[in-house]
Amino acid sequence: MELFETMLQHTSVRSFTSQTLTQELKRKLILAAQSASSSNFLQAFSVVEITDRKKRETIEQLANFPVANGNNGEFYIFVADLNKHAQVLALHEDATDHLRTLESLVTAVIDTALAAQSMAVFAESEKLGVCYVGGIRNDLFKMKELLELPELTYPVFGMFVGYPVEKNEVKPRLPFDAVLGSNTYRSLTPALIEDYDKKTAAYYQQRSANNQQTNWSEKVRQHFSYPRRKNTSEFLKEQGFIF
């Protein structure tokens, strides 16, 4: 399958076979992550592979995201990381004030997301399945303890990678015209939202697993109906960032 077609067939995988990834393939996954674009070549991310079974179980429970088939598949945590840059500045006795800003944090998070997506695209080109896990941020302080994270780091999400037992059907994305604007921002229209809700409602009703009576608008409304992870700013301040 060509890369473009592989990308269009992306879907989250939550059930993996017992087949393990070779060390060489795992090495290539990290090298693929490292090949991603990086702002000013800062490479402001780190990856933590979770191989300890008890630690993995703890993280899955924390994330409220148990994966089917137990310990199958590999599990990585992607960390926005400015600590390594603080080490460079310390070597030269430079101040770290500008390392602690919101803009620096945003830069690190972007670097981390780009690296993860680069890994994900390569993984799927190798017929592996992936699933991002934002739920690791449900308890940032516990994640810091488990991963022994130093100052100026922020665990952004996890990613499961493995050989899929099965894949969910591909979710219908927003219409092309809802994403691309010409020279100016393109807003949604009530008609476009209504049409997309019909398509997503059909998807949720007809998919082979976890059928639901819902649509995109209802998912959006549910997601933003209460504040999530309210301790994020407290955690980031403890990690040395200044807003």
pLDDT by residue for the chain (243 residues), tens only, comes to 699 999 999 999 989 999 999 999 999 999 999 999 999 999 999 999 999 999 999 999 999 987 766 679 999 999 999 999 999 999 999 999 999 999 999 999 999 999 999 999 999 999 999 999 999 999 999 999 999 999 999 999 999 999 999 888 999 999 999 999 999 999 999 999 999 999 999 999 998 888 899 999 999 999 999 999 999 999 999 999 998
Residue 209 lies in a domain: no
CA pseudo-torsion sign 207, 212, 217, 221? negative
Instruction: Find all residues with CB under 8 Å of 182, minimum gap 6, and list them.
Output: none
Tell me 68's DSSP state: B
Residue 206 lies in a domain: no
pTM across the whole model: 0.95
**Domain count of the chain?**
1
Long-range contact list for 189-198, CB < 8 A, 24+ apart? Answer: 193/217, 196/172
HEC sequence for 5-60: HHHHCCCCCCEECCCCCCHHHHHHHHHHHHCCCCHHHCCCEEEEECCCHHHHHHHH
pLDDT at position 208: 83
Residue 54 lies in a domain: yes
Residue 26 lies in a domain: yes
Residue 179 lies in a domain: no
pLDDT at position 3: 93
Residue 221 lies in a domain: no
Residue 228 lies in a domain: no
Look up residue 212 and give its amino acid. Answer: Q
Specify the length of the chain in residues: 243
C-alpha dist (Å) from residue 78 to 5, 21, 48, 49: 26, 19, 7, 9
Residue 225 lies in a domain: no
Q: Which residue has the tokens 């830069």?
A: 107
Q: Which two tokens stand for residue 62?
A: 């924390």
Domain span at residue 132 reads 3-171
pLDDT at position 68: 63
pLDDT at position 1: 63
CATH of the domain at 48: 3.40.109.10
